[in-house]
Amino acid sequence: MKKFLLPYVVVPAAVLILVTLARAWMEIQSPTNFMTTCLSANVLSMIWMFTMPAVMLKKGLSLVHGMIAGFLFFLLYRLAIGTVYAMAWTGQWKVEGTDDVVRYVSQVKEGTSTAMVFLMNTLPPIGIGMVILFVVWSITWVIGFRKNRPFARGAASQQETAD
């Protein structure tokens, strides 16, 4: 495995998978609890999206590395979310002690197939995340690395003139 995958993909995705599982359990146990509301894999993934480009650029990684890391990160954690939604929809999960269905079920239109529930909670968010990551990476590269842009055309000649 490439060295950049472990710290930028595997570890953050594993944390978000655990958060997703904890959130699913909390939705069944106590959906109105404050912690259930606060615990969000999407918020944590946005933090990842806005910090990782700067960290990866600082380490000298390219846009290609960033897009590969982003795709794998989004794929791993969105597969977990899609699976939770599909399992809840198939099993018609209910809030413990009530007849109310969990949010994962109530947000889906009646008659939707399990495969569609899985796909719609997995693929569009990956695409949206990749677009946002590309924009954030580009802005970070242009603004954050004005004086020393890694991978810029002529960067080597600029470095030689600065020395």
User: Phi and psi dihedrals of 112, rounded to 5?
Assistant: -75, 140
Of 150 and 102, the one with more pLDDT: 102
Q: Please give the model's pTM, rounded to 2 decimal places.
A: 0.85
What tokens were used for 149? 């842009």
Q: What crossing angle do the helices spanning 123-139 and 41-58 adopt, rounded to 10°?
A: 40
- Residue 82 burial class via C-beta count within 10 angstroms: exposed 0-12, middle 13-18, buried 19 and up: buried
User: Phi and psi dihedrals of 110, rounded to 5?
Assistant: -55, 140
Over 70: is that where the pLDDT of 33 sits?
A: yes
Q: What is the DSSP letter of 109?
A: P
Over 70: is that where the pLDDT of 17 sits?
A: yes
The structural domains of the chain, with segments of one domain joined by +, span 5-144
What CA–CA distance (Å, rounded) separates 41 from 19? 6
Give the tens place of pLDDT for each residue, 87-105: 999 999 999 999 999 999 9
Phi-psi region of 30 (alpha: psi -120 to 50; beta: other; left: phi over 0): beta
